[in-house]
Amino acid sequence: MKTDPKQILRDLKAATLLGNPEAVDLALNGLLAFPGVAANDRMNLGFIEKVILPIGQALMPLKTSYLRPLLDHPLAAGRALGAVALANQFMAGMDATAKDLRKPANDPRPDVRTALGQALLATGHLAPPKLLGLGTNWLMNTAPKPRATALIFIPGLAESHGKRVVGLLGPLGSDPDREVRATLVDALNALGRAGLAESVMELLAFWATENHPNAWVISRVLSASWVAEYPTQAEAILRDLASEPGTSSQVNSAIEALARHGVEIEIL
């Protein structure tokens, strides 16, 4: 049984090129026999980027009738590979549909959803309007898992759809789900670094003046290094946030982080 991901990737590419499902199964079994994979351990982002994404992409030429059953695989890595392959097909305009992506977007394992989101992020440039439609739909989903998944790939629309993307995040300012809040922070920071900093700061300022603002989300975003370029806006937001009861620890954390980035803010 082969245990080298690079060799498995080469074997998969050859097998899919020849249309040999038995060879595909053999190569996949090699990956799924890895000790950590076979034990169903949590996949970290490095493993997803180096192994799951390229191998999932190699599976893209296969028929959806082969890929869809992978979404029910007992191992998270198997489901992630199916999700990545179908995401690549969807963005390339092949047979996979948005309906095919619903199951992995709701997968109970966050690493499977991360693999799906990262695959869509990497391929979003192929069809930005299609990615925008998918993201808009998932961000409005009543279930939190699709919302969190969408937030992984939404920053990929920064160049093509600009401020509209930031606007889509407005309703999430008070989202009650912990994973959504954490992924929202990552998305806003990615958008801030991608040339939409002013729009992100405007959104944070709006949230800070709402009733019961989510101080954790706002302060975590304001703690990022890119915010150091906007000291006046950051101070105004933190002042508004500080006027709300129970926000002192979050405000102080942001002030300390900004100080490390060379910005001194004092709020009495």
pLDDT in tens, 105-140: 999 999 999 999 999 999 999 999 999 999 999 999
Break the chain into its structural domains and give their ranges. 1-126, 131-268
pLDDT of 16: 83
Given this model, what pLDDT does residue 1 score? 46
The whole-angstrom separation of Cα 232 and Cα 168 is 25
Burial 51-61 (b: 16+ CB within 10 A, else e): bbbbbbbbbbb
Residue type at position 126: L
Note the helical H segments in 106-230.
Answer: 110-123, 128-139, 144-153, 158-168, 178-191, 197-208, 215-222
Helix (H) or strand (E) holding 256: helix 248-260
Contact 119, 53 (CB under 8 A): yes
The residue-averaged pLDDT of 244-251 equals 93
Residue 205 burial class via C-beta count within 10 angstroms: exposed 0-12, middle 13-18, buried 19 and up: middle
pLDDT of residue 3 exceeding 70, the answer is no
pLDDT averaged over every residue in the chain:
94
Confidence of residue 100 (pLDDT cuts 50, 70, 90): very high
| pLDDT mean over 80-87 | 98
Whether 143 shows a pLDDT value over 50: the answer reads yes
